[in-house]
Each structure stands twice: as C-alpha cells, then as structure tokens.
Amino acid sequence: MAITGMGIISAIGNNVAENYDALYHEKSGITRIDNIETIQRDAIMVGEIKFTDAQLVKKLNLPSSNNYSRTAMLGVIAAKEALFNAGITDLNTYSTGLVSATSVGGMDMTEKYYYQYLTEPETQKYIESHHGGDSTEKIAEQLGIKESFVTTISTACSSAANAILLGARLIQSGKLDRVLVGGTDCLSKFTINGFKTLMILSDTYNTPFDDNRKGLNLGEAAAFLVLESEAVIKAENKPVLAYIKGYGNANDAHHQTASSEFGDGATLAMQKALAVADLKPSDIDYINVHGTATANNDLSEGRAILRVFDTAVPPFSSTKAYTGHTLAAAGAIEAVYSILSLQNNVIFPNLNFKTPMKEFYLEPETKLVERELNIVMSNSFGFGGNCSTLIFSKEA
C-alpha cells in the first residue's frame, strides 16, 4: 500500500519538517505542563504542544461559535498537511475515505464544562463534541470529505496503528482508491489523573527500556497518512513516500491494563505483520518500539521482541522520550517517524537511556545512526490487551 502524503503536529514540531529536525538534532519536547491547570503539575512531565486552544482556533481561522475540541483542532492541522503533502487538491476524482482514531475525543471540553453544561447555555455547544467520532467529523468537514466512508477507531494506545491497518485493508480490497488514516489525542486532566491512579507516570523525563525507568510521560499529537491504490499512483504519476508492507493486530487476553509476562499479544502482532509482509524477522532493519518506559510495557515488549527475533534483534529505539506517549495518536506519529527513518536512512536515538534492563540484554540505539534502511517495524500496544504492529518499506 503506497503512502503518498503525511502530516503531523506534536510536542517536537508543528509539521513533518519540524518533527524531523527535532528528531535528527535530538531535541526532546518533554516539559512541565503549561496549558492545563492541574495539581499534578510538579509530579509529571508531558509532551505538550505549546499552543493554547485560543491560538489553535486562530490558526485554523475558526469562527467564535465553533465547537471544536482540542483533539479535533490538532487532527485538522495534521490531516490538512497530509492532504497537501500528497498533492491532493480535488477529493472527488477518486473515492476517498477517512479513518481516524482517538481515545480522549472531546473530553478536554467535557471536563472543563462538566457541570456548567447543566446551567450555562453558551457551553452546551461542546456537548456534541464529546463523542469519539466528532474530531473525525470535524476533519472531514474541514477537508471537504462528503458522502464518504468516514469512521473512527478507539482501542487505546494502538488506535492509530489500527486506523492505518484498516486503511491498508480497504485499499487492498478495492473498497477505496484513497484513504486518509491516522489519529489524534490531546492532553486532558482526565488522562493525566487516570494514568496517575495507575501509578505509571514518571515525575521526570521518561527513559524507555532503562532498568531504572519510572513510567511514562503523557503527550498530545496528531498525525495522518494518505494511502493510495496502485491505480491512482499510476494514473497520477505520484511520488510514493513509502509502502505499508505488513500489519497485524492481536489481543493479549491477559489483563485489562497490564501486558502478559512474555508479551503474547505483542509477539502475535509482530508475527502476523511479518506473515502479511511475507518477510522474515531478519528482514527488519529497525524497530520503532512502543517503549512507553513503564515497568510493565518495556519488559513485556522486550520479551516479545526476543521471542520473535531471538538472537538477531535489529536496532531499535523508542521515540517516546521525544514526544511522550500520545495515546491514540502514537501509532500514527510513529508511522510518520518510521517513514522519515526510511526516507532519510536514519535511526533516531532512544533518548535518556543509561542502564540496560536486568531481565535480558537489550540495548536500544542511544545515538543517531545513519545507515541504509529498507524495512522498518513499528509497535503500538494498548489497554484491553490490544497489540498492533505495522511494517513499512522503502520499495513496493
């Protein structure tokens, strides 16, 4: 499946070029939180996009009567860039769909106005923005996607990877000629406090795969890819950025929030993706791991990687030390980073790593590595045991 465009906004940049620049120059976007008032402020660090909601409204030229959640606004920004990047000016020439993903949805507004909804009419416009599909509908509206297949996936932290997976299958089956796929999630008190109750937030910079890791940093972001069929590529003579070669989704079926000890779901997802791609583990040049820096994920994922790759584990790194864990958007921003890796033959470092984990010998790349890359694997694992793997390739 050919990828012809991408767009992204995250804590390390407002578009693809800025994100690449930060990744290349090892500039992390982790800070204390500024846009949300929370008692947790000094106990957490986040990957925050330093625009206030008002600034985003202005950036998008939205009327004051708008009811866009922050999630929707971030999504629109990234989706617009992807479409532009793919050189698409007229959506009606081919059947185009939109598959987005979110876990926060409009909760950022709901938590602000929860009780006011009952008494203050001017806040009530946000009631309809709460549900998962709203940010997707807003993206469709802004992009002029009408009378089309538009839907939203929500499977916690694997959501956007699953949106990409569905998009690939829709093109493969001929149901669509072209599909915009990705995800968006903003920071919210709901997720900050929710993850706090699980005691998996770090109070400092997150250190994926490090023996002394203390937990994750939450982040916010949005990213989209444009996937187009072979027929469209040929007809339009389009440049292709990369290809989706393989994909796999599996369930850990172990516990609601914790991964199984030896990463059953993760193992299956990686194996499925390799099977779809018709590749061997030795064909993988680099893995952008889920690597959230929680005690549980990194151990489980590490073991799963060893099960799949045995003694020949490819170079790997987690880019969450740059952006934080962007929840539903993670699979999409990391897809963009995987494609950037392929295009530029660069492996981005796993920042902040000092000490390998005791349980096994796995050391991520700690410096930027310039080397020819042809196949990159990206992992995204979420609550509910939802595990997804995508494989990207330079050539078809």
Q: Which of 255, 354, 367, 371 binds other proteins (CB under 8 A)?
A: 255
- The per-residue b/e assignment along 376-386, b for 16 or more CB within 10 angstroms, e otherwise, is bbbbbbbbbbb
Q: What span, in angstroms and rounded, lies between the C-alpha atoms of 299 and 215? A: 12
Q: Is 395 helix (H, G, I), strand (E, B) or coil?
A: coil
Whether 186 is catalytic is no
First to last CA, the chain: 8
For other proteins, the closer CB: 47 or 105: 105
Q: Which of the ranges 162-170, 233-241, 277-285, 333-341 carries the binding residues for other proteins, by CB under 8 A?
A: 162-170
Site for other proteins contains 67 (CB under 8 A): no
Total residues interacting with other proteins, rule: CB under 8 A: 70
Among 6, 9, 150, 218, binds other proteins (CB under 8 A): 150
Stretch of residues binding other proteins (CB under 8 A), selected from 50-58, 112-120, 226-234, 335-343 = 112-120
CB-based contacts of 283, cutoff 8 Å, min separation 6: 274, 277, 375
* Binding flag, residue 190, other proteins (CB under 8 A): yes
Cα–Cα distance for residue pair 287/298, rounded to 1 Å: 14
Distance, in Å, from the CA atom of 208 to the CA atom of 220, rounded to the nearest integer, reads 18
The answer to whether 103 contacts other proteins (rule: CB under 8 A) is yes
Nearer to other proteins by Cβ, of 114 and 361: the residue is: 114
Show the binding pattern over residues 359-388: x = contacts other proteins (CB under 8 A), - = does not.
-----------------------xxxxx--
One-letter amino acid of 310:
D
Among 14, 31, 35, 38, binds other proteins (CB under 8 A): 38
387 as an active site residue: the answer is: no
Task: In whole angstroms, give the CA distance from residue 21 to residue 52.
Answer: 23
Residue 197, interface with other proteins (CB under 8 A)?
Answer: yes
Q: Is 133 in the site for other proteins (CB under 8 A)?
A: yes
Binding segment toward other proteins, per CB under 8 A, in 27-35, 82-90, 166-174, 219-227? 166-174
For 340, the token pair is 């950037």
Provide the β-strand partners of residue 227: 3, 179
Q: Is 88 in the site for other proteins (CB under 8 A)?
A: no
Distance of closest approach, residue 271 Cβ to other proteins, in angstroms? 11
How far, in Å, CA of 203 to CA of 217, rounded? 8
Q: Is residue 59 a contact point for other proteins (CB under 8 A)?
A: no
Q: Pick between residue 249 and residue 341 the one whose CB is nearest to other proteins.
A: 249
Does 169 engage in binding with other proteins (CB under 8 A)?
yes
DSSP structure string for 128-183: GG-STTHHHHHHHHHHT--SS-EEEE-BTBTHHHHHHHHHHHHHHTTS-SEEEEEE
Please tell me whether residue 198 binds other proteins under the rule CB under 8 A: yes
Does 354 engage in binding with other proteins (CB under 8 A)? no
For 323-336, give one letter per residue: b (16+ CB within 10 A) or e.
Answer: bbbbbbbbbbbbbb
Applying CB under 8 A, which of residues 219, 265, 314, 364 lies at the interface with other proteins? 265
Among 4, 154, 300, 389, binds other proteins (CB under 8 A): 154
**CA–CA distance, 123 with 113 (Å, rounded to integer):** 7
For other proteins, the binding residue among 24, 84, 94, 117 (CB under 8 A) is 117
Contact status: 87 vs other proteins (CB under 8 A): no
The minimum distance between CB 98 and other proteins, in angstroms, equals: 8
* Rounded (10°) angle between helices 70-85 and 134-143: 40
**What is the closest distance, in whole angstroms, from the C-beta atom of residue 276 to other proteins in the complex?**
10
Strands (DSSP E) along 267-374, which ranges?
Answer: 286-288, 316-317, 346-347, 369-370
CA distance 78 to 19: 12
User: Catalytic positions, please?
Assistant: 157, 290, 325
Which parts of this chain interact with other proteins (CB under 8 A)?
A: 38-40, 98, 102-103, 105, 107, 110-111, 114-115, 117-118, 121, 124, 127-128, 130-134, 136-137, 140, 145-156, 162, 166, 169-170, 173, 175, 189-190, 193-194, 196-199, 249-258, 264-265, 268, 382-386
